[in-house]
Amino acid sequence: MSTLTATLPADPAQLRPMVYAEVDKLGAQSLLLLHRVALQLELEEVTDRLNTGFDADRAKGRLERLPEIIREARAALHARQAS
């Protein structure tokens, strides 16, 4: 990649056009790989946000009733399906 030798801008908004230009040069196989890498990065970011949220909820005691809530929801679902 030619951008490896170039000085990278500190502002991500300035980096975006450089990344797009490199993506446009990729062949099909590399593009497929890049897509998988991008999906993995997105998955990791979402997982981190979820973990942070659950940790905060757990610290506030919001998850203590979760098993009871799940049992109630399952019972209601089964009752709805049976009727």
pTM over 0.75? The answer is: no
Confidence check: pLDDT of 2 > 70: no
* Mean of the per-residue pLDDT values of the chain: 91
Contact in structure between 35 and 27 (CB atoms under 8 Å) = no
Q: How far is CA 43 from CA 35, 46, 48, in A?
A: 12, 5, 9
Instruction: Kindly list the domain boundaries of the chain, sorted by start residue.
Output: 13-82
Name residue 51's amino acid: N
What digits encode the pLDDT tens for the residues 7-52? 788 888 999 999 999 999 999 999 999 999 999 999 999 999 999 9
**Which position has the token pair 């709805």?**
80
Number of H helices, E strands in the chain: 3, 0
Cβ–Cβ < 8 Å for 1, 22: yes
Q: What is the mean pLDDT of residues 58-78?
A: 93
